[in-house]
Amino acid sequence: MSKTMKAALIRAFGEPLAIDEVPTPEPGASQVLVRIVATGVCHTDLHAVDGDWAIKPEIPLIPGHEGVGYVAALGAGVTSLKEGDRVGVFWLNRTCGHCEFCLSGREMICPKQINTGFATNGTYADYVLADANYVRPIPEDADFAETAPIFCAGLTTYKGLKQTEALPGQWVAVLGVGGLGHLAVQYARAMGFRVIALDISEEKRSLARDLGADLVIDAADKEAVRRIRRETGGGCHGALVTAPAVAAFSQGLGVLRRGGTCVMNGLPDGEFPVAVMGFVQKGLTVRGALVGSRQDLNEALEFVAQGKVRATIEVEPFERVNEVLDRLRRGEVKGRAVLNLSN
Ligand code: NAD
Ligand code: ZN
Ligand code: ZN
């Protein structure tokens, strides 16, 4: 392994990433070094690069948190993995392991979590460091590029759909059919829901149709909510908002049936109004949902292993990372863009 590696770094917010040679990190106790073969490009990375949120990462920083590849080196005390193992790295680089949330299967809300590609260097590089207990194995026959998006987009939407508490046969709306949403449509179908997909872009709506959504609606249509209420006989049992736009959150609440739950995955740094009377009278629930636990990830990967979910990907050479981010900014990526780092 060479002393330096190729990486894309945020050096200034809103600027193109700098592709540089930087020192290859060495795994500390309980860590592994992972040789990245492919990494997905999540809209969260774009928020980080553009400095969209009030909370900004410390820069320079290597973004990326949907990385898959091989274990390349083990830190002291690591016995659960060996060099050459196929693994993926996700948003939870590590959590404290001791708090009430870690101890109750809710490690994704651990207040001491360290996030890959945000609080520590991420996967837009030849190598990344991760805690050995937080990487997840990838099945022998799984394609790296197709598996990468499961480590954030797949996990997050699978977990979000579970948290709608909708039952098989019931209606679930997916608002936003991007990297997250196109997987949400597939998980929702695999989980037995009837799926309504909404997006403002015709290309994304067309993808949702190809993926088997039962009903596809233009989110910008003023009649969208009324139409959904009519088609579902009173509204959806669950809604999953994956769009990075505040408008989609009001719509997510609007499409709910009495007693329904709207799960929020998208992360625009904004607010949306809630009419208290209607909310109370209809017994609605709104719930924030951040990625998922390692066990949720195992479950999300199992759907892929069974052939029930398959990411739609656009594979690009790593060197084109800035063009890819631009296309994501403009809403032009179909499914998930994945950067190839295999050479
Ligand atoms: P993406 O850019 O791939 O997809 C976003 C989609 O939303 C696009 O298809 C776009 O056309 C659509 N859209 C935009 N405005 C819309 C509107 N008003 N109504 C309906 N659709 C609309 O992004 P992504 O990678 O899927 O990420 C989406 C959001 O989820 C981002 O804010 C990201 O930070 C967040 N995210 C959250 C978590 C979590 O754990 N909660 C995890 C990953 C990503
Ligand atoms: Zn992500
Ligand atoms: Zn914790």
- pLDDT tens readout for residues 186-221: 999 999 999 999 999 999 999 999 999 999 999 999
Q: Whose CA is nearest to atom 8 of ligand 1?
A: 178
Task: Write the DSSP symbol of residue 279.
Answer: H
- Rounded to whole angstroms, what are the CA distances from 335 to 205, 210, 260? 11, 12, 27
| Amino acid identity for residue 334 in this structure | K
The pLDDT score that the predictor gives to residue 252 is 98
Q: Which of 196, 186, 181 is nearest to 232 (CA)?
A: 196
**Distance in Å, CA 328 to ligand 3 centroid:** 32
**Distance in Å, CA 96 to ligand 3 centroid:** 4
Q: Which of 103, 95, 158, 196 is nearest to 289 (CA)?
A: 158
Q: Tokens representing 127?
A: 């190598």
Q: Whose CA is nearest to atom 18 of ligand 1?
A: 248
Q: What is the pLDDT of residues 2-55, one digit of tens each?
A: 899 999 999 999 999 999 999 999 999 999 999 999 999 999 999 999 999 999
The pLDDT score that the predictor gives to residue 29 is 97
Give the Cα-Cα-Cα angle 17, 18, 23 (nearest 5 degrees): 125
Closest ligand 1 atom number to CA of residue 46:
34
Q: How many CB atoms lie within 10 A of CB 282?
A: 15
How far is it, in rounded angstroms, from Cα 321 to Cα 319? 6
Contact residues for 98 (Cβ-Cβ < 8 A; gap 6+): none
**Distance in Å, CA 40 to ligand 2 centroid:** 8
- Rounded to whole angstroms, what are the CA distances from 189 to 148, 170, 183, 303, 308? 21, 11, 10, 11, 9
Query: Nearest ligand, CA of residue 109?
Result: 3
Q: At what angle do helices 294-305 and 153-163 cross, to 10 degrees?
A: 100
Low-confidence ranges of the chain (pLDDT < 70): none
**Distance in Å, CA 242 to ligand 1 centroid:** 5
Closest ligand 1 atom number to CA of residue 336:
3
Q: How far is CA 335 from the centre of its chain?
A: 12
Q: Tokens representing 42?
A: 């999540």
How far is it, in rounded angstroms, from Cα 195 to Cα 216? 9
Closest ligand 1 atom number to CA of residue 333:
3
Query: Nearest ligand, CA of residue 335?
Result: 1
How far is it, in rounded angstroms, from Cα 153 to Cα 158? 8
Closest ligand 1 atom number to CA of residue 243:
7
The pLDDT score that the predictor gives to residue 240 is 99
The pLDDT score that the predictor gives to residue 96 is 98
Q: For a substitution probing ligand 1, which of 109, 163, 200, 242 has the most ligand atoms within 8 Å of its CB? A: 242
Query: Nearest ligand, CA of residue 95?
Result: 3
Does the reported pTM lie above 0.75?
yes
Pocket of ligand 1 (CB under 6 A): 42-44, 47, 152-153, 156, 175-181, 198-201, 204, 219, 242-245, 247-248, 265-267, 289-291, 328, 331, 333
